[in-house]
Structure 1
């Protein structure tokens, strides 16, 4: 099982949490971006640089992720695609996207997109708060613990 990161939009604070977790648990962490990324030296951390273009990084993550993997993204359509492949998606704010909630989140995203395109200003996301970073770290730790139990079960 791997952790895939939609790295172009992932906050630095979240990447740092992921780097530490990958090293601590020997979990493969793959950052996918359309630009060069500087990462700490680690045999558990790798980067995939994709060409510039709309959804190129997202498509690469969907192509490579497998059932049981974890994808870090705030992109709801990407989360929907990876969940359909039996992977999990976790937002940098700590929201876990699953088969049970992804369609409702996708519908809300589409509704807000329609409002924006009709000229209604909805504002952008707020800055990442300390409690959201903690929620992310807690969800990540739960996934890593479940993964460790699955790997140790004969």
Structure 2
């Protein structure tokens, strides 16, 4: 089982957690991004650079991730597609998406898109908190323990 990372939008602090987990557990972590980025010299971590373009990285992740793999992404439509394919998805803020939660997340996302399109300033998300980092690490560890 592999971990795939929607790396263009993944916070560095979360990538560092993943790098340490890859080394500790000998789990392959692949960052998928449309630009070059630094990855540690570690046989368990690699970068897959894809061409620039709308959702190119997302499409690559969908093509490569298999049932039982874990994808790290906050992209709700990508998560919904992956969950249909029996791939687990963990948000960088620590929420493990599921069949029972993803529909509600899609509805909220669509509502916020409608609000922004009508001119309402919704602002961006706050910085990741210590609690969210801890929740991410805990959910990652739970997934890794099932892998063994």
TM-score w.r.t. length of structure 1: 0.94
1:83 aligns to what?
A: 83
SS where residue 30 of structure 2 aligns? strand
**Alignment map for 1:1-150 (pairs within 5 Å):** 1-148=1-148
| Cα separation, 2, equivalents of 1:95 and 1:109 | 15
| Cα separation, 1, equivalents of 2:126 and 2:90 | 18
* 4+ runs deviating over 2 angstroms: none
Structure 2: which 5+ runs fail to align? none
Structure 1: which 5+ runs fail to align? 149-154
Give a deviation string over 1:95-132, Cα, whole Å, max 9, x none.
11111111111111011111110111111100111111
Give a deviation string over 1:39-59, Cα, whole Å, max 9, x none.
111111111000000000001
| Cα separation, 1, equivalents of 2:35 and 2:10 | 13
Aligned length: 148
User: What is the Cα deviation at residue 79 of structure 1?
Assistant: 0.6
| Cα separation, 1, equivalents of 2:18 and 2:56 | 22
| Cα separation, 2, equivalents of 1:62 and 1:142 | 23
